[in-house]
Each structure stands twice: as C-alpha cells, then as structure tokens.
Amino acid sequence: MIRSLLVRAFLLGTMALLLEACATVSGGSIPPSAFEFHDIVPEQGPEAGGWKVAQVNILLSRISRRRPLQAWCDVEVGVPRITGKRPISTETAQRRSAESANGAARMVLLGNETVSAMACKQFRDEMRLLLREHIGGVRVTKFMTPGLEPKSFPDD
C-alpha cells in the first residue's frame, strides 16, 4: 500500500515537472501578404538598381510561466529591385521575407529573452541573416523610410 502511494506520488510529481517544462506556447505563421512592398527607388537602366521596402509591425508572443514575452517589433525589409542581372519580383521578396520572419520568430521564441527591445533586435538580426541567404543586398531594420503605412501581423 505505501509502495503504491509512493509510486503514484512519484508519477504525479514527474507529470507536474513535465507539464511545467511544456508550459511554453507559441504559434502562428506570418504570411507573405504581410510584407507589402513599395517601390522607393526606380530601376535605372539594365544595371543593378532600384529599391523596394515593406514595413510590418510583428507581434512576437510567448506564453510561459518562466519566460513570458509579448513584443511588437517594427520591421522594415529593404530589397533591391535588381541584383546583378536578376530581378527580384515582389512575390519572391514577399515569400522569402515571410519564410525568414517565421524562421527568426521560431529562433527568438525558443530562446530565453524576455525583454521586448532585445527580442526585437534578435528577431531583426536573425531575419536579416536568413533573408540574405536568398536575396543579396537585403536590409532588415527598424522603420526608417518615412511616408509608408505599415501593416501589422496579426492584424489589429
């Protein structure tokens, strides 16, 4: 009888520890449509040139007892219209931006950062690294270009 109670207590304690370890929740996926690119600098002839920009406020949110996070991050993605002899379509820029943002969000949300400003900086830095693998010359920063109306994800 006592042995049975000890085994049950041990199992309940183990389950409580596992539930605490699994109490971190995050989810969602940023769609390509969240990145609405605007031409800022037009192309000039056949050489590399032109520039387009998208601005998005992205909510990074992690539900956790030990490492909660809720941060609205302002993200500006700047992409050349043409790199070398290869044009970068808006669809490609949107798709690659979304893929990179989703990868960066996973990295940040799996980490330990709980300070909003630091989480946003890590997010932008990681997104830049991921996006540069596919589009040369890309820039990921805080909002810098005036006059654009940023989108939000998720929508307000």
| Token pair belonging to 114 | 């709980």
Residue-wise pLDDT for 100-133, tens only, equals 999 999 999 999 988 999 999 999 999 999 999 9
Distance CA 26, CA 78 (A): 27
Q: Mean pLDDT lowest for which of 23-27, 59-63, 117-121, 144-148?
A: 23-27
Confidence label for 49 from pLDDT (cuts 50, 70 and 90): confident
Give me the mean pLDDT over the 52-80 stretch. 94
Q: Output the pLDDT for position 22.
A: 41
Average pLDDT, integer, range 3-25: 38
> Rounded to an integer, what distance in angstroms lies between the CA atom of residue 94 and that of residue 77?
10
Instruction: List Cα–Cα distances, 66 to 15, 63, 72, 75, 108, in angstroms.
Output: 18, 9, 20, 27, 15
pTM of the model: 0.78
Rounded Cα gap, residues 76 and 37, in angstroms: 10
Encoded amino acid at 99, one letter = E
Q: Closest Cα partner for 56 from 28, 41, 39, 78?
A: 78
Q: Note whether 122 and 111 are within 8 A (CB).
A: yes
Q: What is the DSSP letter of 137?
A: T
The DSSP output letter for 44 is -
Instruction: Return the pLDDT at 48.
Output: 60
| pLDDT at site 113 | 87
- Cβ-contact 141, 77 below 8 angstroms: no
pLDDT score of 25 more than 90? no
